[in-house]
Amino acid sequence: MKVLKFGGTSVGSAANIRIVREIVTRQDDDIVVVVSALGGITDRILNTARMAVLGTDFYLGELAEIRNRHSEVTEALFDDPDPVFGRINHILKELEQVLTGVTLIGELTPKTLDRLSGMGERMSSILVSAFLGVPHMDSAELIVTDSNFGKAVVAFEETNRRIRERFNGFKGLAVAPGFIARNQAGEYTTLGRGGSDYTAAIIAAALDAASLEIWTDVDGFMTADPRVIRKAYTIPMLSYTEAMELSNFGAKVIYPPTILPVYKKGIPVHIKNTMRPEAPGTLITRSSENGRERPIKGISSISRIAMLTVQGIGMVGVAGISMRLFSALAQEKINVILISQASSENTISIAIEEHSAEQAEDAIRREFDKEISHDLINKVFVETGLSIVAIVGENMKHSTGVAGKLFTTIGRNGINISAIAQGASEYNISWVVKHEDLRKTLNVVHESFFLSENSELNIFLIGTGLVGSHLLRQVASQQERLLNENHLKLKIAGLANSRKMIFDRDGIEVADYSKQLENAQMASSTEEFIHLMINMNLYNSVFVDCTASEEISGAYRRILDANISVVTANKIAASSAYDNYLLLKRTAKRKGIKFLFETNVGAGLPIINTLNDLVNSGDKVLKIEAVLSGTLNYIFNTISTEIPLSKAIRMAKEAGYAEPDPRIDLSGMDVVRKLLILARESGYRIEKEDVKIESFIPEKYFAGSVEEFWQSITELDEEFESNRKELESKGLKWRFVAAFEEGNARVGLREIGSAHPFFDLEGSNNLIIYRTERYNEFPMLIKGYGAGAAVTAAGVFADIIKVSNI
């Protein structure tokens, strides 16, 4: 024998009831079908009852709607609906009589509420049994409870006797209403929330059924709430314990009391979707298959939680404090969802439903009035706007490091935990967070524990100029490969240029980003961009700066404080005051996130990363020599008899190597910033003012406008050509060199002989020489393209990938 339970959605329309018939008739076993009320009917009945209490006639309209709903479904299912609707109408008349009584006395007692609450199930079960052409079994005559109206306790001995007696010799198919029962006096009671599931489980256990099937409107237990976690998927198997834990902490697939009767008998429970009967669903048994690589089965959460904390040194070592606390709450019928207690015993925190917070606080203050007045308990306070999150899995007890990984991941994403609870059984780890962090918490944990096949990185990019546009093209071209090969999903969640900005939690389509920006409604604002990015509160977020803006670089500290990694091609922050540079580095380290600026020196060359590896492995940098300006190297490689200095500068600008105002490159300040960064990354405290600049362009050319510069720079052509020829006759070349040794830093134009590695440096290439304690006799050389939007964008892209590997 099997017991099948169908929820309100499953029997919510004539079409759905026909699906139920198809499901039932495909079964070979003897079957008991337990049904809920038509979807939404119970709520409508209770709302009608509340109207009746007010003594108004408004409830008559609602009553008519309830009657019409049942009439419509009956007419759609039967050629001759009158006999069936006549039976249903008998209950509708009873409903009207009860509501009239409620109106007259102006009171809705728990007993009356229970009688009303079960009428939906009584009507739907008559409807379904008639449509299937099978006997109707009245659950209220079979299940006996106490008189705790609203959530009656089952008298199992008498209930089991009645069920077995009624089904003795039973063959075929029968339908019974869920949720309803009677007490010893014959008065209607109900089994509480999820009562129809409970009814099915009680009948299944009493009859030693082969299985219990719960047919609902979802595919089964999910790894997380699919409304929040789009990548959540159906869990194929759970143990009774895992199902109970997930249900206790918010998974509304099945309600906890349902599991107990079938658990005792070892009856498997199968959760199935009425609308998708072909879906495998979730099977719940005594034990479940679960590889060690997946120590948790699912994540559940409960919202609208308050946390009440009692604190005081007078609680330490005093027996009975906890008993008094929970007794005071029990007297007020307040359910405690989570308990967290400090090992010193001076603090106890409990999580309760938010609507009970004030009542709970009053109860605790009354109970501990004496201790509070004598300062033995100095704090009783309530925090609201919270949520509880729980991870569940029997194999957590066999897997080391679960808690460490969990809380490290949560902390790195800037999520503060208010309380933690874990039982010795290790089936469940629960914690409390602010409700505003719930979505982020669920996403982080779901991904961290490999419940999601792919990792996600949410990118917020400012700057769509040369570097930014190249970066976006590279992201677009690599998205599919990274997803398929590396299981990394890159999403552009925010994007801004100098005029407009756009945001999309689901990801901006990169292929037509420029059109989206053009049509955007939001004007670009650094302050507003950062504000919206932080408020979106997305997990695994990275801020990417492809500008040269001092305003944007000044906001890095705020961004890092919000636990958002920073990847920047902007040199200003790393070359700002040393204390600011150090603060940014330390903030990122303390938060467990990244502050990466590889492209600040050498575009896409692995210059800073290599330097970090040397220093972190214990090596000491003794000397740095470098050609760090691709622009200046291009200029000095291009100058010739045919190409004077002024033309070489213009060619560098046209090739995209030089800034729109080339004086930024010609001044040597860009090289100063780069040398400053390398010296700092080598472990030296150095400021910009400590770097000596030997300029090769007279100071007067840096005054005035860019147009004036282009008009006057030709004045240097003749002198430079004369000097170049003399240099060439000696077999030498010009190179703009940055050097750092023994705390001394300088940049300037040097004459380089053919024996030096800088001599053959072509085009816009960079070359860096590290002389360290390990690489002293034979220094380390790094050489390659050091300028250009494409290679710089590639370096930024590489840093973004590093963030995903935190």
Q: Is 606 exposed, middle or buried (0-12, 13-18, 19+ CB in 10 A)?
A: middle
H/E segment holding residue 792 = helix 789-804
Q: How far is CA 180 from CA 87, 186, 544, 761, 769, in A?
A: 18, 12, 59, 87, 83
Determine phi and psi for 336, rounding to 5 degrees: -95, 125
The per-residue b/e assignment along 654-691, b for 16 or more CB within 10 angstroms, e otherwise, is ebebbeeebbebbbbbbbbbbbbbbbbbbebebebebb
CB 297 within 8 A of CB 242: yes
Return the closest-CA partner of residue 545 out of 621, 599, 500, 593. Answer: 599
Amino acid letter, 611: L
**Separation of alpha carbons 13 and 7, rounded Å:** 12
Where are the strands (E) in 647-729, listed by range?
691-694
d(CA 228, CA 508): 19
Q: What is the DSSP string of 350-408?
A: EEEEGGGHHHHHHHHHHHTHHHHHTTSS-EEEEEEEEEEEEEE-GGGGGSTTHHHHHHH
Q: Which residues contact 331 (CB under 8 A, 6 or more apart)?
A: 363
Unique residue bearing structure tokens 């250009």: 788
- With tokens 């509420």, the residue in question is 113
Helix (H) or strand (E) holding 243: helix 240-248
Task: Reduce the DSSP state of residue 557 to 3 states and report it.
Answer: helix
Measuring CA to CA, how many Å separate 765 from each of 118, 605, 657, 768, 780? 81, 10, 11, 10, 16
Please give the span between the terminal C-alpha atoms of the chain, in angstroms, as a whole number.
53
Tokens of 407: 């809380």
Write down the H helix ranges in 487-574: 513-518, 526-536, 550-553, 556-561
The set of catalytic residues is 674
* N residues, the chain: 806
Among 262, 366, 350, which Cα is nearest to 309's?
350
Beta strand pairing status for 488-496 and 565-568?
Answer: unpaired
Distance CA 396, CA 119 (A): 44
Distances (CA, A) of 700 to 389, 683, 696, 721: 66, 36, 12, 20
Q: 658 Cβ partners below 8 Å, 6+ apart?
A: 631, 649, 652, 665
CB 493 within 8 A of CB 460: yes
Taking alpha carbons only, the member of 498, 507, 555 closest to residue 530 is 555
Task: Evaluate the CA torsion angle 698, 702, 703, 705 in order and state its sign.
Answer: positive
| Token reading at 467 | 């570097």
Is 249:301 a contact under the CB 8 Å cutoff?
yes
Q: Which amino acid is at 694?
A: E
Say whether 447 sits in a helix, a strand or coil: helix
Residue listed under structure tokens 């409390």? 432
User: Using an 8 Å Cβ cutoff, are 507 and 493 in contact?
Assistant: yes
Q: What is the Cα–Cα distance from 515 to 747, expressed in whole angstroms?
A: 43
Task: Determine phi and psi for 501, rounding to 5 degrees.
Answer: -150, 150
